[in-house]
Structures are given as structure tokens and as C-alpha cells.
């Protein structure tokens, strides 16, 4: 049976509406409290969970409701306050927490929010565990639970620990480097500028003034135009943009070129290959990416003797593949990059650190480090649907997909999938030129609209 509450990245929706209405959120807290008590008993430790949130105006009441539900079942919480998703993951695995909860809808607009859960290892929960939590949540809802809230006071020591850890991973300094940081008016708004200043960089912050409603609003990792202009205007060496919960990073080179997650994977693959640290369990150098990564990455990696292992969309699936294959780096084109040596989830701040460390080590610019990467034109079309049906059951759609794949051959790719968080069918087409990509993606999108619209 498919999960009903959890999507590809936790539970997500409009704050105040199902599944993020007070009763469901409280039931979620109770289910998590039961699980925390059970895990704590098996580990002979205290049943304590960490909670963090980004800057959305709904964050405080959601945190208080989750905490109250956890407390109802005999477990306790410590509140990290405003922090990043990878910050919660780090604290959960390094402090004496049995679980961690991040309250964020990542790159979504402010009226959305979400609940992301980590276990003590710092990993996002596997699908089976999410299924088990859902069963308990629904049982509590059926019993007629009445939600309540628990007042929370941030423990600032938790954020300090995470920031200190990031600094400790960097070798050398960034003195003389001029960096523009776009923190999406989100979770990195205070951590990002402080981090890079501590490393010695001259920081020009933009979108670092959250008001509860401006998170991701025409800024951050999904809207890099302002960052590109700022890098050129200030004659900066580079720029970095994070999303609302700072688990992804997009960069801008000194020339204004976008450096996305695929470019980062190529930069790090070359570095790890040189250090003979890219071989996995199969003793073949490889990196992990999703089906969304550009064909240009696959070809650039092949050119240096590195394989590309693809997974379904979602950084937790990337991580599962990395662990299974014993590989040190993987990520998504969207900027989620995971460095297993340092983290258990995508971390935008850590990604920027690793890339800039390589810039410093080699003395090469971002433009130079990515010059052999030819980006195949790519277009993503979202098609709204009323009733979801398996794509395999739609003959018109399957025929159009087959026709496009035949036309593109080995100079293009087609991917059609459903969003894990919204009622959308996503059509991605890559090809040799934008005219071809536009035509092919439109044909498939029209076929989907005809059968599902």
C-alpha cells in the first residue's frame, strides 16, 4: 500500500490544512514519541528528540504541536530553533537524540510547511518506517485525539555545535575571496554569512532578512537571477544560493554561469578520483545522481573514466544507493549533494565549503573547473491532473514517449514521472538543441493532459 502522508521528503502541505492540520500534526508527534520511547529502551538511553525549523511563520506552532505530541507519549524534546535540515541531521547523529524533526517545506513558498524525520544515525527514515508511523498516526486520529501545544525555548548551543563542525571540516581559509550569499530568507540567513566570514571570506549577503513570508520568494536556489546579477555587479569571485532549509546549494561563477548540483558532482569526482577515493564496493569509480541529472554529466564523467549510478528522485534514495555501493559522493542536479565523509543528507553550506576548498586547492576558478561540461538543453514541464492513473496504463502517452525516445537516440533523454509532493506529472526532455526539446516535451505534455486532464 502506498504511503498516504509521507512523500519523497517527509510530510508536506499547506500549514493548517490536512495533513498539516493541528490534529494530524499532534498525532504525528504522538506516533514519533512512541517510536522514540521504543528506540530509547532498546538503546538504554533517554527518549529525547531534536526539533528544528526554518523561518516560515507557521514553524513555531507546528514545532509546539509536535513537541506536545511527543511529550504526551513520555518522550522529551530539545529545540534548536531556526536551523537547517542538515543541521538537525547532524545534531541527531552526534548528540544523544533518538530522533530529529525538521519543520520545513524546503524550496516551497511560505504557506507550505513540512515534517522531515531523522533517526539516530542522521538518516532520513526508510519507506517501511514511514509506513509504520503512518499506521500509528491514523490510529491516534481515529481515537479522537485533541491537539495541544508545548512552549519551546531555543537551545542556542545546538546551532553553535553545527556551525563549529562545518568550520572544522575546512582546510585552510578563504581570505581574499569575495562571495555573494543568497540565503533565500530561510534557515541559512544567520548561519551562512557567519560561517563564511569565520572562514575569512568577504561576504555580501542578499535575501538574509526573513519575515516569515518571504522565504524562497524570488530568491534562493530556485531563483538565481538576482544572485548572478549581484556577483557581476560586485565583481565577486563567486556566489552561493541556498533554499529555504539550506539542504541544497546552487553556485554562480565569476562570469555569471550557473553551477548546479551536476557541476558540483563533476568537480568532486575529479578531486576524489585524483585522490583514489572514488572506488565503491564494485571497485569501479562512480558517483550517484538521480534520473534528473543532465546527460552532459554522464558524458563528462565517462570522459574521465567514472561511472554514473542513477536513482529515483529524492536525496534519501541517492544516499541509500551511495551506502549500498560504498560510494563517497552523490547528489541531485537541484543542488542536493551528499558527502558521506561529512554528512548523512544534502547540505548546502557544506557543499559550498567543499567546492570552495577545491577552488582554493587548485587555484582554478569555477568556470575553469567546469569548462568540459556541455549542458544538454533540458526542459521540465509540469502537467496538472485531476485523477492519478499509472503512466503505463495510458496508451497515448506511452506511444508519444516511445516516439520521442526513438527520435532523440543517444543525444537525448526522456523522463516522465509523478511529483511526490504535488498533483503534477513532470515531463523532462533533454536533447541536442532547445527547439527539439521544446517540441518533444510539449508533445508528451499534451498527451498527458489529454488523458489525465
pLDDT in tens, 366-396: 999 999 899 999 999 999 988 888 889 999 9
**Are both 6-158 and 159-258 of the same fold?**
yes
Strand partners, 384: 424
CATH number of 378-452: 3.30.310.50
d(CA 309, CA 172): 32
Q: How far is CA 228 from the centre of its chain?
A: 21
Q: What is the pLDDT of residue 15?
A: 98
Cα–Cα dist 111/106, whole Å:
12
* Domain range 159-258, its CATH number among 3.40.50.850, 3.40.50.300, 3.40.120.10, 3.40.1080.10: 3.40.120.10
Looking at domain 260-343, its CATH architecture is: 3-Layer(aba) Sandwich (3.40)
What's the whole-number mean pLDDT along residues 73-80? Answer: 98
How many separate helices (H) and strands (E) can be counted in the chain?
Answer: 14, 18
Which residues is 426 bridged to in the sheet? 382, 417
- Asked if 249 and 242 touch (Cβ cutoff 8 Å), the reply is yes
Contact yes or no for 296/375 (Cβ under 8 A) = yes
Specify the pLDDT at position 3: 67
Q: Is the pLDDT score of 131 beyond 80? A: yes
Answer yes or no: is pLDDT of 421 > 80.
no
Q: What is the mean pLDDT of residues 291-318?
A: 92
The three cell numbers locating residue 273: 578520483
b/e sequence 405-426, b meaning 16+ C-beta within 10 Å: eeebeeebbbbbebebbeeebb
d(CA 268, CA 162): 23
Q: Report the top-level CATH class of 6-158.
A: alpha beta
The residue among 296, 294, 269 whose CA lies nearest residue 280 is 269
Q: What is the mean pLDDT of residues 178-183?
A: 98
Distance in angstroms (rounded) separating the CA atoms of residues 120 and 140: 24
Alpha carbon distance 246, 298 (integer Å): 26
106 is catalytic: yes
**What average pLDDT does the structure give for the chain?**
94
Edge-to-edge strands, sheet with 258-259: 202-206, 178-182, 238-242, 249-253, 258-259
Helix (H, G, I), strand (E, B) or coil at 253: strand
Q: Where are the domains of the chain?
A: 6-158, 159-258, 260-343, 378-452
Residue 427 parent element (H or E): strand 424-430
DSSP annotation string for 346-369: --HHHHHHHHHHHHHHHT--HHHH
pLDDT at site 127: 86
Whose cell is 542578499? That residue is 206
Contact 71, 33 (CB under 8 A): yes
Distance of CA 283 to the CA centre of its chain: 28
The C-alpha cell of 63 is what? 514545532
Give me the catalytic one of 58, 104, 106, 441: 106
> Cα separation of 415 and 430, whole Å?
9
pLDDT at 453 over 80: no
In this prediction, residue 2 carries a pLDDT of 56
Q: Of 211, 215, 232, which is closest to residue 223 (Cα–Cα)?
A: 215
pLDDT(27) > 80: yes
What would the pLDDT profile of 331-371 be if each residue is shown by its tens digit? 999 999 999 999 999 999 999 999 999 999 999 999 999 99
C-alpha cell at 102: 525538521
Provide the whole-model pTM. 0.90
Question: What pLDDT shows up at residue 423?
Answer: 87
Amino acid at each position: 500500500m502506498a504511503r498516504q502522508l509521507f512523500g519523497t521528503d517527509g510530510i508536506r502541505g499547506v500549514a493548517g490544512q490536512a495533513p498539516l492540520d493541528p490534529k494530524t500534526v499532534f498525532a504525528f508527534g504522538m506516533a514519533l514519541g512512541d517510536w522514540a520511547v521504543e528506540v530509547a529502551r532498546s538503546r538504554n538511553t533517554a527518549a529525547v528528540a531534536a526539533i528544528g525549523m526554518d523561518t516560515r511563520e507557521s514553524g513555531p506552532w507546528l514545532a509546539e504541536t509536535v513537541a506536545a505530541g511527543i511529550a504526551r507519549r513520555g518522550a522529551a524534546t530539545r529545540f534548536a530553533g531556526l536551523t537547517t535540515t542538515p543541521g538537525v541531521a547532524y545534531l541527531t547523529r552526534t548528540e544523544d537524540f533518538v530522533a530529529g524533526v525538521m519543520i520545513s517545506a524546503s524550496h516551497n513558498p511560505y504557506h507550505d510547511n513540512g515534517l522531515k524525520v531523522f533517526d539516530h544515525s542522521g538518516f532520513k527514515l526508510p519507506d517501511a518506517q514511514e509506513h509504520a508511523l503512518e499506521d500509528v498516526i491514523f490510529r491516534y486520529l481515529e481515537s479522537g485525539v485533541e491537539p495541544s501545544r508545548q512552549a519551546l525555548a531555543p537551545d542556542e548551543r545546538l546551532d553553535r555545535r553545527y556551525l563549529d563542525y562545518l568550520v572544522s571540516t575546512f582546510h585552510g581559509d578563504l581570505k581574499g575571496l569575495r562571495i555573494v550569499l543568497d540565503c533565500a530568507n530561510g534557515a541559512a540567513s544567520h548561519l551562512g554569512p557567519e560561517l563564511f566570514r569565520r572562514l575569512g571570506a568577504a561576504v555580501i549577503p542578499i535575501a538574509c532578512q526573513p519575515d516569515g513570508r518571504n522565504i524562497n520568494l524570488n530568491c534562493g536556489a530556485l531563483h538565481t537571477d538576482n544572485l548572478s546579477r549581484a556577483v557581476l555587479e560586485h565583481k565577486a569571485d563567486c556566489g552561493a544560493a541556498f533554499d529555504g532549509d539550506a539542504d541544497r546549494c546552487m553556485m554562480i561563477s565569476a562570469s555569471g554561469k550557473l553551477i548546479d548540483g551536476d557541476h558540483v558532482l563533476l568537480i568532486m569526482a575529479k578531486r576524489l578520483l585524483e585522490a583514489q577515493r572514488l572506488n565503491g564496493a564494485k571497485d569501479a569509480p562512480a558517483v550517484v545522481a538521480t534520473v534528473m541529472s543532465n546527460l552532459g554529466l554522464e558524458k563528462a564523467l565517462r570522459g574521465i573514466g567514472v561511472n554514473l549510478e542513477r536513482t529515483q528522485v529524492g536525496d534519501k534514495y541517492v544516499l541509500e544507493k551511495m551506502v549500498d555501493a560504498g560510494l563517497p559522493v552523490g547528489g541531485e542536479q537541484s543542488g542536493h549533494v551528499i558527502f558521506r565523509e561529512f554528512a548523512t543528507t544534502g547540505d548546502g553550506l557544506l557543499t559550498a565549503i567543499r567546492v570552495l576548498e577545491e577552488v582554493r586547492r587548485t587555484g582554478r576558478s569555477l568556470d575553469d573547473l567546469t569548462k568540459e561540461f556541455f549542458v544538454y538543453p533540458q526542459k521540465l514541464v509540469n502537467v496538472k491532473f485531476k485523477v492519478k492513473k499509472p503512466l503505463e496504463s495510458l496508451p497515448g502517452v506511452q506511444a508519444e514517449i516511445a516516439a520521442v525516445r526513438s527520435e532523440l537516440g543517444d543525444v537525448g533523454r526522456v523522463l516522465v514521472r509523478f511529483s511526490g509532493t504535488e498533483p503534477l506529472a513532470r515531463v523532462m526532455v533533454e536533447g541536442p538543441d532547445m527547439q527539439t526539446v521544446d517540441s518533444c516535451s510539449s508533445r508528451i505534455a499534451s498527451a498527458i493532459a489529454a488523458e489525465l486532464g
